[in-house]
Amino acid sequence: MDDWKTQTKAVHVGERDFEAAGATVPPIYQAASYAAGTEQPFSAEDLGEKPPFTYSRWNNPTVVMLEEKLAAMDGGEAAVCFASGMAAITGMFFQMLQPGDHLVCTNVCYPGVLEFLHDFGPRIGVDVTRVDASHPEEVAAAIRPETRLVFIETPANPILRLADITAIAEIAHQGGALLAVDNTFGSPIATRPLSLGADLTVYSLTKYHGGHGDALGGVVIGQAAVVESIRRAISIHLGPSMAPMNAWLISRGLATLPLRMEAHQRAAMTAASFLENDSRVKQVTYPGLPSHPQHELARRQMDNFSGMITFRVDDPREMARQFDDRFQIIHYAVSLGHHKTLCYYVDTADMNRTTFHLEGEHLDRYKAFAGDGVFRLSVGIEDGEDLIRDLDQALG
Ligand SMILES: Cc1ncc(COP(=O)(O)O)c(C=O)c1O
């Protein structure tokens, strides 16, 4: 399996044990408990390294199949799945950080993460320093003796700013901390953070992995000892385990992830080039365009530029209403990474008030990407020319 190419891993890893009835497709083990024999412990504290299936909050065959695929795709030793991306990320924080520890966290990422840290950091006694992760020297300056973890997201939601994983991994390790990367916007087809020096990769599987907008999920991938400690403390004891049906849906999506990412990138490049050359559009940000301020880093760190674009127009609130009214193919909706193209307006003042709380130079740097607000376009796998026609008529 180790020498299989990515596309083969996406289709086959983890499926070897499911041949009992001769089915060529893995079953959904929709079971809460298993006849594990009389020798099994009643407490999860006594579980060995490879415990038999006992109870589905601990482990479930369909979820394990997905975990094996995900670990193989990212080049990690192990993976633990959760009911959502937020459950994976917050579970990782709960397990990796103790009262008195310090976290260095990017100041721009999926809003739920920063909102969680704002509320829960003080409650769990963890001090959080927010930095602009596109400036590695800010990460270095923030590290303290009690820093346990550095958390970044690249490309960052919602403005598509990048962070240099290799540089930040080195800084974190020099300071005795681990690096965790939210790679949701890129997927493992674009970037494999573990191979660039990161210790943990987290994903919302709801996005590109699942790819069809029909199942929530999340995962933490990394060294087996760390991942299994997260499973024990968080998945088993807090209980945000993934449901088997979702694991099956996301596994099915994963089989076509490499193919879909090619289609996302192709259509996104077509749409981004159209928007960049249209006088109704003020600014376009796409890592695949030479105009992206970090295009060189994108070329170094991303094998696929993904399907996420942002763009700005005059009077965006009116344009949002117009888009909602006029789009024929594109859905005016949140989320991303689906086969269908989605578009949503993200207002800078609103986001800063509720979530980012940026000031001074940090706010200026955010606005260099987003101005007063951006439309976030998650380009699906439709034909790029059809998307251009829909954008063209909707822009009016
Ligand atoms: C980059 C990123 N990380 C994490 C999440 C949270 O994932 P979920 O919605 O599956 O909980 C999201 C959701 O949009 C996201 O965009």
What are the pLDDT digits (tens) for 175-217? Answer: 999 999 999 999 999 999 999 999 999 999 999 999 999 999 9
305 vs 287: CA distance, rounded Å: 6
- 90 with 169, same domain: the answer is yes
- 28 with 103, same domain: the answer is yes
The CATH number covering residue 142 comes to 3.40.640.10
Sequence-distant (6+) residues with CB within 8 A of 33 are: 54, 55, 56
267 vs 39: CA distance, rounded Å: 55
With a pLDDT cut of 90, the percent of the chain lying above it is 91
Per-residue pLDDT band at 79 (split at 50, 70, 90): very high
Confidence at residue 46, expressed as pLDDT on a 0 to 100 scale: 79
Q: Which residue's C-alpha comes closest to atom 16 of ligand 1?
A: 110
User: In angstroms, what is the span from residue 396 Cα to ligand 1's centroid?
Assistant: 32
Atom in ligand 1 nearest the alpha carbon of residue 86: 11
311 vs 282: CA distance, rounded Å: 7
- 192 with 311, same domain: the answer is no
Mutate which of 117, 206, 310, 344 for ligand 1 pocket (most atoms within 8 A of beta carbon) = 206
What are the pLDDT digits (tens) for 61-78? Answer: 999 999 999 999 999 999
What are the pLDDT digits (tens) for 239-249? Answer: 999 999 999 99
Counting the structural domains of the chain, the total is 2
- Is 90 exceeded by the pLDDT of residue 226? yes
| Residues carrying an active site annotation | 57, 110, 182, 207
Confidence at residue 223, expressed as pLDDT on a 0 to 100 scale: 97
- Is 70 exceeded by the pLDDT of residue 6? yes
62 vs 391: CA distance, rounded Å: 40
Pairing of strands 218-222, 283-285: unpaired
Confidence at residue 2, expressed as pLDDT on a 0 to 100 scale: 80
Q: Which strand (E) or helix (H) includes residue 265?
A: helix 257-276
User: In angstroms, what is the span from residue 204 Cα to ligand 1's centroid?
Assistant: 5
Sequence-distant (6+) residues with CB within 8 A of 99 are: 124, 125, 126
Question: What does each C-alpha distance from 305 to 159, 170, 183, 298 come to in angstroms?
Answer: 14, 24, 12, 7
- In short, whether 85's Cβ falls inside 6 Å of ligand 1 is yes
- 79 with 172, same domain: the answer is yes
Per-residue pLDDT band at 17 (split at 50, 70, 90): low
- 133 with 152, same domain: the answer is yes
What are the pLDDT digits (tens) for 105-137? Answer: 999 999 999 999 999 999 999 999 999 999 999
- 275 with 171, same domain: the answer is no
Last residue of a domain, one of 255, 283, 299: 255
Last residue of a domain, one of 226, 255, 284: 255
Instruction: State the residue range of the domain holding 350.
Output: 258-395
- 211 with 355, same domain: the answer is no
- Is 90 exceeded by the pLDDT of residue 270? yes
Instruction: Report the chain's mean pLDDT, rounded to a whole number.
Output: 96
Whether 169 maps to a domain, the answer reads yes
In contact, 304 and 190? CB cutoff 8 Å: yes
- In short, whether 294's Cβ falls inside 6 Å of ligand 1 is no
